[in-house]
Amino acid sequence: MNGESFYTKVYEIVKKIPSGKVTSYGRVAIILGNPRSARAVGYALNALKKDNTQEIPWQRVINSKGFISFKGDTFRANLQRKLLEKEGIVFHSDARIDFKIFGWP
């Protein structure tokens, strides 16, 4: 309706994350202009699992602690890790990603 929906804004930003880099939901929210909508950002990315024909690199968004954020969906979590490793991202032994090295921006 409004020229650009919240979801669209999220996707536009996520598409800018370069391969081999990651950012957090909160970070995307800040770039959006809504610092407090981190939760909604996750909600927006969740909507992609049904139809991601635009090939939005959803895997490049993790939580602020540097971990993959999936509670029950282990299938998605494993897929995300696999995709990221394929891009060259290295996980610590505790499954954490170092923003100092792979963080974007």
> Cα(80)–Cα(85) distance, rounded to whole angstroms?
9
* 6 near DNA, judged by CB under 7 A: yes
| Run of H or E residues at 61 | strand 61-62
- What tokens appear for 81 in the block? 């890790």
> Cα(44)–Cα(48) distance, rounded to whole angstroms?
7
CA–CA–CA angle 31, 33, 36 (5° rounding)? 95
Choose one: 19-27, 85-93, 97-105; the region binding DNA (CB under 7 A).
19-27
Q: Which of residues 44-63 bind DNA (CB under 7 A)?
A: 44-46, 48-49, 58-59, 61, 63
Which CB atom, from 8 or from 90, has the smaller least distance to DNA? 8
Q: Of residues 4, 36, 50, 53, which one binds DNA by CB under 7 A?
A: 36
Q: Of residues 13, 41, 89, 97, which one binds DNA by CB under 7 A?
A: 41
- What tokens appear for 26 in the block? 């909160």
Contacting positions for DNA (CB under 7 A) = 5-7, 24-27, 34, 36-46, 48-49, 58-59, 61, 63-65, 69-73, 76, 80
